[in-house]
Each structure stands twice: as structure tokens, then as C-alpha cells.
Structure 1
């Protein structure tokens, strides 16, 4: 059972999004076109985090504006941010981050895959 049903639902409401659970990491992972756009798990301190793909300049802005947003845990720090879920509880904001992450990944897929996904 997913600990954050609002995050899970917001991610899966995105067209063509899929989900798996990576046992070794204890993480829910979200994909579009076989590429990951978000992951929900814990960091080494055991804090719940949502890690999402972002435009590099967007990541810097988000971190500057919101203390709950940190560089992407175990990810490329310029392309991913992690959100400390015990500090950021706004589901609408988290849904917007997920949608942004999804768009980042979708736009990088080959055009034929984008068309398949978008129907």
C-alpha cells in the first residue's frame, strides 16, 4: 500500500504513466515511455522524499524558494530535486511538480513515442 495515495494518484493520472515498486530501494517509481520521472521513497536519514526530474534552472529556483526542496537524492543534482514530505504537504504543489517532471521526460522521448503516449 502506497504511503502517499495523493502522490501516487497524481502521478498515475498523467497520460501513459506507469508505476513499479523497487524492493531494494523501498521506492515507488513512476515512468513515462520506460523513463523514470519521479520516485517516492526515503533518504539515508529515513525521511520520506519525493524525487522528481526538473529543468536545471528550475531546480535552483525551487531550492531557493522552498526549504523542503533539496538536491536530488542519489540523482544528478542539476536535473533532479527531492522534496522532504514531512515538510511539504501541499498535494497541489506536489502534483504540479509531478506534472513538470513528466513533461521533462516526455519531451525527451522520440516523437513517435510521444505520439503513442499522447494518443
Structure 2
């Protein structure tokens, strides 16, 4: 999946998530997806190459980086808790959708219960179960 396709597909996935909003707080070169004001996905270009930046559990982030050449440490983010997806052959649509959903779920899980648009314990679990 090339970088432009990656960003387009990731944005489509994010837009389907309950309560997700697209903002541009860092200018037009950064697309930032938030849920109740908390970031779960960023998109920009690093040096000219489109990337998608997502939240991830530290152990999962490490495993993803080891298994996929196109997954690296989070660009301009905490390197343990964020990953960067780059365009390349090691990513497919199913994995990208799972990673976007998981990032969203992790952020929703840290929101106060009254602000959670979904139950983070069960939302998207079918995708995680299928991956294992």
C-alpha cells in the first residue's frame, strides 16, 4: 500500500469511529483525529513521504515494529506508546483498520466513562481476536 493510499484508507477508518473528529491544530500539513479532544491518529509527511501515526500498547508496538518493515517508532511522539506507519508492502488494509481501531480504543479507554462513546473493553474486539 503506498503512502497516499495508506493515509486515505486510515482516514476513512477513523471517520467511521463514533465521536471521531478531524482537526488541524498544527496547521494544514497535519491531520489530527481526536475523540473528545484526545488524539488517536495523526497524519503528515516525513520528508515528503505520507505517514500515519497511531497509539499502541508498548509490547504490541515493539512486536509490530519487528514484524513489519513499514512500522517504525512514533514520529514526534512517545516512542514506546506510538507507532508510525509508512507506505509499503508489509501493510494491508485489514491490519491498518485494526491498528486505527486499536489506537482509538486505547484513547477512549482513558476517557472518563461519561465521555466514552463506546465500551473500550469490547469495541473492536472481533478485529483483535481475528488477528491472534
TM bracket (short chain): 0.7 to 0.9
SS at match of 1:118: coil
Bigger CA drift: 83-92 or 47-56? 83-92
Which residue of 43, 61, 64 corresponds with 2:63? Answer: 61
The 1:74–1:23 alpha-carbon spacing in structure 2 relative to 1, beyond 3 Å, is: closer
Matches within 5 A, 1:55-94: 55-88=57-90, 90-94=92-96
Matched residue count: 114
Gaps of 5+ in 1: none
- RMSD (Å) for aligned C-alpha atoms: 1.9
Gaps of 5+ in 2: 120-132
Contact 1:63 1:70 in 2 (8 A): yes
Q: Which residue number in structure 2 is paired with residue 118 of structure 1?
A: 118
Displacement of 1:92 in angstroms is 2.1
CA distance in 1 between partners of 2:97 and 2:44 (Å): 16
Matches within 5 A, 1:1-119: 4-22=7-25, 24=27, 26-43=29-46, 45-88=47-90, 90-114=92-116, 117-118=117-118
CA distance in 1 between partners of 2:64 and 2:38 (Å): 23
